A and B are shown apart, each in its own frame.
Chain A
Amino acid sequence: MTLQQSRRLQSLLLGTLAWAIAIVIFFPIFWMVLTSFKTEIDAFATPPQFIFTPTLENYLHINERSNYVSFAWNSVVISFSATALCLLIAVPAAYSMAFYETQRTKGTLLWMLSTKMLPPVGVLMPIYLLAKSMGLLDTRIALIIIYTLINLPIVVWMVYTYFKDIPKDILEAARLDGATLWQEMVRVLLPIAKGGLASTVLLSLILCWNEAFWSLNLTSSNAAPLTALIASYSSPEGLFWAKLSAVSTLACAPILIFGWISQKQLVRGLSFGAVK
């Protein structure tokens, strides 16, 4: 076997492996979408059915029973607002830690990350009582604040690692050219870190979109996002797997489409910073 043939074989094997892993990862989503077009009796048939007569009855049922648009709008408002707020706090924090590092920077970063280790249920009661006393139960503001605080450590970490990859000399050059701090940030730093920031935004959006614990506990009807809609179709007494799959498909669709559109930025971002 020549060197070229060996390389081709290696490439083929790697390609096959990548496809196999991709199929395994994607299969649950594929199965969920497929089940959403089945009748309830087909949904739990064994052996599982790949060929069946598709139906839209589950989607029609959801449309009749639930106000999907209201839930989806809440998800959009909460996720985008929390992400924007998160970034607004994280970028200056990461800037100061990346370019004006002190002895305590590493410790501060680790402390921030350690807050993610606390199980959310451990602080359910105090946060619920705080939200109640501030009149924030079942409001989008409550979830925006909570999601911002939950995601802040990971967003600061990501932005910090992207900033760390940028040579300080570039910023110093800008300063020598008379750039103010604001111009330095907006005109120099952020354009360079654009890819990294895009992937951070996408990750934060996904985390907010998928969060269920706080949305189920702090909302009831006015501010309930799509995760609450999915939970409303889960039943311990009765087989509603097809309807559950349909509502899950509807809940995942917007963020999947958004991720698909911005995948170029995501890949660029992931290969830019420390997550590479």
Chain B
Amino acid sequence: MNFPAKALLACTCMTLSAVSLGAQTLTIATVNNSDMIRMQKLSKTFEAEHPQIKLNWVVLEENVLRQRLTTDIATQGGQFDVLTIGMYEAALWGAKGWLEPMKDLPASYDLDDVFPSVRDGLSVKGTLYALPFYAESSITYYRTDLFKQAGLTMPEHPTWVQIGEFAEKLTDKSKEQYGLCLRGKAGWGENMALIGTLANGYGARWFDEKWQPQFNGPEWKDALNFYVDNMKKSGPPGASSNGFNENLALFNSGKCAIWVDASVAGSFVTDKTQSKVADHVGFTFAPQQVTDKGTSWLYSWSLAIPASSKAKDAAKVFSAWATSKEYGALVAKTDGIANVPPGTRASTYSEEYMQAAPFAKVTLESLKVADPTKPTLKPVPYIGIQLVTIPEFQAIGTQVGKFFSGALTGQQTVDQALAAAQTTTEREMKRAGYPK
């Protein structure tokens, strides 16, 4: 074979290998949150750096995504290469072997920089199954102008009783000004996330050490009575159908004096393009009562690779890129430092970031103290602050959420709602074979 022929053969081989590598397409399932949409936008940089990997995005609403991913992963459908999941799914799916362990990450990834609470929440028996994209806790938002007008001062660590008193003073229903906005929409990730942390603050727990439901105890009664009484007194009308977005809309339009919810709202309520009260928002820790244990929730949107993926290596390269320090630096450069995905890395919380994001200090401290392994005053057999990491929890949590939402609308009393929650949870746990 002469030289030109050899050169031609070599070129053909190189082109073919490039074509075969170029055929690697990753299908990424994610949610329509601001940070995720930004990731989709900035992923062009990743594609430029990795020309052999093409990204295909499937963006879905959170509940639809959860159902879609559960169907796909349980049947080993192999529709997706990268999944956006929370701590609940990471723990359960990781334990079942449905997710690829996140091993052999490059040294530059600096796993030690990731907050231990977040890392542990995404691990099963020391094995990491997802890389955290952003994490959130729950904090208290309040209107500094209204507090000033009323001569009130918000403590750094308020109690629920104090919050109730402030809310009552700041409520003026004739002006459509409501003292307290809390989630009321039924669902394990909706009202039960908030009520779960509220109950933790009152010393309540979902189950005792023998997996016996505890809704018949005085702690749950005190917590739910506080919630229902104060929401009736100081809450907006139709609170039982309000979730995160509805309360965000109320707060941003100046109709809420106090709102306790996810720390991710910090960037929304201070954004002048969507908030009318952006200059009058204060931030403090989530309320506590008899204890501060489990009063701030912990949740992380993370990237995981299903075991059924046919492009695991490329998926790992992308997941590591999207959750790396370099990605944070890219966001800071293109969209401003306040938009860096929060809550996952210690290095994010630089002096510059703390100044740009006024809610960062409270979020950081809340994330540091959130411990899903010790979420309540009394000991529990489960992991999770605002949730219980067992497969049965989705159904139980949503059903209990419906009873509590019913108590808020007045369909039933607090005692009836608690009795129904106790009976239902006992029945479902027995059916599931607990104690195991």
> Which residues does A use to contact B, with CB under 8 Å?
39-41, 44-46, 65, 124-125, 128-129, 132, 137-138, 216-217, 220-221, 224, 228, 231-240
Q: Which of B51-59, B91-99, B339-347 contacts A (4 or more CB under 8 A)?
A: B51-59
> Across chains A and B, which 4 residue pairs bring their CB atoms closest together, nearest first?
A232-B59, A234-B61, A235-B32, A44-B249
Q: Which of A40, A125, A137, A231 contacts B61 (CB 8 A)?
A: A231
Instruction: Please report the number of residue pairs spanning A and B whose Cβ atoms sit closer than 8 angstroms.
Output: 96
Q: Tell me whether B27 is interfacial, beta carbon within 8 Å.
A: yes
- B16 nearest CB across to chain A (Å): 25
Q: Which of A39, A216, A220, A235 contacts B33 (CB 8 A)?
A: A235
Cβ contact within 8 Å between B245 and A239 = yes
Contacts of B77 in A (CB 8 A): 128, 132, 137
B33 & A238 in contact (Cβ 8 Å cutoff)? yes
Q: What's the Cα separation between A46 and B244 when bound, in Å? A: 18
| B80 interfacial contact with A, CB 8 Å | yes
- Asked if A216 and B71 sit within 8 Å, CB to CB, the answer is no
- A238 & B252 in contact (Cβ 8 Å cutoff): no
Interface-central residue, A125, A128, A220, by most chain B CB under 10 Å: A220
- Given A217-B68, A220-B58, A238-B34: A132 touches B75 (CB 8 Å cut-off): yes
Across-interface contacts of A239 in B (CB, < 8 A): 245, 248-249, 252, 268, 274
A132 to B71, CA, bound (A): 11
Asked whether B274 lies within 8 Å of A235 as measured between CB atoms, the reply is: no
Which residues of B271-296 have CB atoms within 8 Å of chain A's CB atoms?
273-276
Whole-angstrom CA separation of A224 from B68 in the bound complex: 13
How many angstroms between the C-alpha atoms of A224 and B79 in the bound complex? Answer: 13
Main secondary structure of the interface of A (DSSP, over half): loop
Query: Is A238 a contact partner of B245 (Cβ separation < 8 A)?
Result: yes
In Å, the complex CA distance between A263 and B64 comes to 34
Question: How many whole Å from A169's CB to the nearest CB in chain B?
Answer: 54
In the complex, the answer to whether A231 meets B64 with C-beta atoms within 8 Å is yes
CB closest residue in chain A, given B61: A234
Q: Inside 8 A of B325's CB, which chain A residues have their CB?
A: none
Docked-complex contact B71 and A217, CB < 8 angstroms = yes
CB neighbours of A217 from chain B (8 A)? 67-68, 71
CB < 8 Å neighbour of A216 from B32, B68, B244, B252: B68
Q: How large is the interface on B (under 10, 10 to 19, 20 to 34, 35 or more residues)?
A: 35 or more
> How many Å from the CB of B129 to the closest CB on chain A?
22
Distance in angstroms between the alpha carbons of A65 and B31 in the assembled complex: 14
Which positions 198-230 of chain B face chain A at CB distance < 8 Å?
Answer: none
Interface pair A128/B32, CB less than 8 Å apart: no
A45 contacts B253, C-beta separation under 8 Å: yes
13 contacts between A and B (CB under 8 A): A41-B274, A132-B75, A137-B77, A216-B60, A217-B71, A221-B27, A231-B60, A231-B61, A231-B64, A232-B32, A234-B61, A237-B265, A238-B33
Q: A138 vs B275: C-alpha distance in the bound complex, in angstroms? A: 40
A224 to B252: give the CA distance in the assembly, Å: 34
Of chain A, the residue at the smallest CB distance from B136 is A237
Contacts of B253 in A (CB 8 A): 44-46
Apart from A41-B275, A216-B60, A238-B34, 12 more pairs, CB < 8 Å: A46-B253, A216-B64, A220-B56, A233-B59, A234-B61, A235-B62, A236-B62, A237-B33, A237-B62, A237-B245, A239-B274, A240-B32
Nearest chain B CB to A221 CB, angstrom units: 5
Q: How distant is A43 from chain B, measured CB to nearest CB, in Å?
A: 9
**Contact indicator A128/B71 (Cβ below 8 Å):** yes
| Beta-carbon nearest neighbor of B36 in chain A | A235
Q: How far is the CA of A238 from the CA of B249 in the complex (A)?
A: 9
A45 to B176, CA, bound (A): 13
Question: Chain B residues near A137 (CB, 8 Å)?
Answer: 77, 79
Bound-complex Cα distance A217 to B29 (A): 13
**Cβ contact of A235, chosen from B31, B255, B262, B265, cutoff 8 A:** B31
Q: Which chain B residues border A232 with CB–CB below 8 Å?
A: 32, 58-61
Q: Are B60 and A129 in contact (CB under 8 A)?
A: no
Quick one: closest A residue to B249, CB to CB? A44
Closest Cβ of chain A: how far from B45's Cβ, in Å?
16
Find residues 21-68 in chain B having any chain A CB closer than 8 Å to their own CB.
27, 29, 31-34, 37, 40-41, 56-64, 67-68
Residues of chain A contacted by B265 (CB below 8 angstroms): 237
Residue of B57, B245, B252 with most chain A CB atoms under a 10 A cut-off: B245
Kindly provide the distance from the CB of B278 to the nearest chain A CB, expressed in whole angstroms: 10
A198 to B31, CA, bound (A): 40
Determine the chain A residues whose CB is within 8 A of the CB of B57 once the complex forms. 221
B301 — nearest CB in chain A belongs to which residue? A237
B194: CB under 8 A from chain A? no
Provide the bound-state CA to CA distance between A244 and B94, in Å.
34
Asked if B243 is at the interface (CB within 8 A of a chain A CB), the reply is: yes
Q: Is A236 touching B63 in the complex (CB atoms < 8 A)?
A: yes
| A234 to chain B: closest residue by CB | B61
* Docked pose: A206 CA to B80 CA in angstroms: 30
Bound complex: CA of A154 vs CA of B57, how far in Å? 35
Interface residue? B131 (CB, 8 A): no
- Asked if B60 and A138 sit within 8 Å, CB to CB, the answer is no
Q: Tell me the bound Cα distance from A52 to B243 in angstroms.
A: 27
> Taking each of A137, A228, A235, which has the highest tally of chain B beta carbons within 10 Å of its own beta carbon?
A235
Contact status B80-A220, CB under 8 Å: yes
The chain B residue with its CB closest to the CB of A41 is B274
Q: Across the interface, do A65 and B245 meet the contact criterion of CB distance under 8 Å?
A: no
Chain A: which residue is nearest B58 at the CB level?
Answer: A220
B268 vs chain A, min Cβ distance (A)? 7
Q: With contacts A65-B40, A216-B68, A221-B56 known, is A237 near B79, CB below 8 A? A: no
Bound Cα distance from A85 to B62, whole angstroms: 34
Asked whether any CB of chain A lies closer than 8 Å to the CB of B367, the reply is no
B261 to chain A, nearest CB (A): 10
| Contact status A40-B243, CB under 8 Å | no
